[in-house]
Amino acid sequence: MSETTGKYKIGDAVMVAVENPKGNPRTPKYIRGKRGVVALAHGRLENARDHRGIHDPLYTVKFDLTELSACHDSDTIWVDVHEEWLREVERDS
């Protein structure tokens, strides 16, 4: 079951928190503190095997590889991130 409500929408610029001591620890360290763009909004998902109850909405966030490393590659990586890890940021002009 999925509920489509959430704080962010597709196209929103977001930053991943560096830490989340009170919440879900399952966010890769290589995206913490990095900026990306919401590519998909999954809403609230119930996953009895992985979570107890229903967690904050889940998003797929697209990151440019240049944001994650010193490479000059134009590729992107897409990572699923729960809302509690995300902060809104201004998009570059």
In this predicted structure, the answer to whether residue 51 has a pLDDT above a threshold of 70 is no
Who has greater pLDDT, 19 or 90?
A: 19
DSSP 6-57: -S--TT-EEEE-S--TTS---S-GGGTT-EEEEEEEEEEEB-TTT-SSBPSP
Who has greater pLDDT, 91 or 83?
A: 83
Residue 80's pLDDT is 93
In this predicted structure, the answer to whether residue 53 has a pLDDT above a threshold of 70 is no
Domains of the chain: 2-88 (2.30.30.50)
Note the pLDDT tens digit of each residue in 17-45: 998 777 777 789 999 999 999 999 998 87
Determine the Cα–Cα distance for residues 80 and 41; give it in Å rounded to an integer: 10
In this predicted structure, the answer to whether residue 55 has a pLDDT above a threshold of 80 is no
Query: Nearest 5 degrees, angle CA 88-CA 7-CA 80?
Result: 80
